[in-house]
Amino acid sequence: MSMELTDSRLRPVRRETPGSNPEAHARSWPRAMLNGALLRCPSCGEGHLYDGGRLKVVNYCPHCEEELYHHRASRMAPWFSAFLAAHIVVLAAWIISWFAPLSLGWAALPALAVWAGLTWLLLPSVKGAVVGIQWATRMLGFQYAAMCKPRHPHPHKH
C-alpha cells in the first residue's frame, strides 16, 4: 500500500499487482446485523449462527463457508442485552404506572424478574447482531478473512 497526495489530502492507494488480493467488496451493516439478530450467518443469511449450544458461534457458516470464528462478541453482548432489557422494562413500568399506581416495593421485584428473564431471552439475538456488525465492518480478524480466503476453509474437508 502506498500513499498518494490527492485533493490536498494524503490517502492510501491500493495498487493491484499480479498475485495480490483484490479489494474486498462492500458489506451492508444493517443487513448483517439483522441476519445476526435472526440467528443466521451475517454473510449469506442462510446458514445458522450457533452450533447446537445456546451461544456458541459456529467457526464456519455451513451454507457459504464464511469464517465466523473471528468474532469477539462474548463479553459485549450481555451488556447490550441488559441495557436493552432495562430500557424495555423501565418503559413498561412507566406506562403501567399511569393506569395502576403501585408502590416502589411492589413494582421493583417483578420488574427485576422480568428484566433478568428478558436479558436472558435477548442475549442470542443481541450477540448475533454484534457478530453481524463486526463482520460487516471487518473488525478484528474479519478484515483478513475478507481479503484472503483460506485454502482449506474446513479442517475436516482437506
Q: Which of 151, 153, 138, 148 is nearest to 72 (CA)?
A: 138
What pLDDT, on a 0 to 100 scale, did the predictor assign at position 158?
43
Q: Is the pLDDT of residue 122 over 90?
A: yes
> Which DSSP category does 10 fall into?
E
78 DSSP β-pair partners:
none
Please state, in angstroms and rounded to a whole number, the distance separating the CA atoms of residues 94 and 125.
25
| 54-74 pLDDT tens trace | 789 998 888 888 888 888 888
pLDDT score of 17: 53
| Helical segments of the chain, H only | 29-37, 76-99, 104-136, 142-147
Q: Which DSSP helix (H) or strand (E) runs through 5?
A: strand 2-6
What are the φ and ψ backbone dihedral angles of 67, each rounded to 5 degrees?
-75, 125
Q: Is 14 left (phi over 0), alpha (psi -120 to 50) or beta?
A: beta
140 pLDDT exceeds 80? no
Say yes or no to pLDDT of 147 above 80. Answer: no
The answer to whether residue 9 scores a pLDDT higher than 90 is: no
CA atoms within 13 A on the CB side of 148: 7
Which residues, at least 6 apart from 31, have a Cβ–Cβ distance to it below 8 Å? 42, 45, 136
pTM beyond cutoff 0.75: no
The predicted model gives 114-131 an average pLDDT of 94
Mean pLDDT score of the chain, rounded to an integer? 79
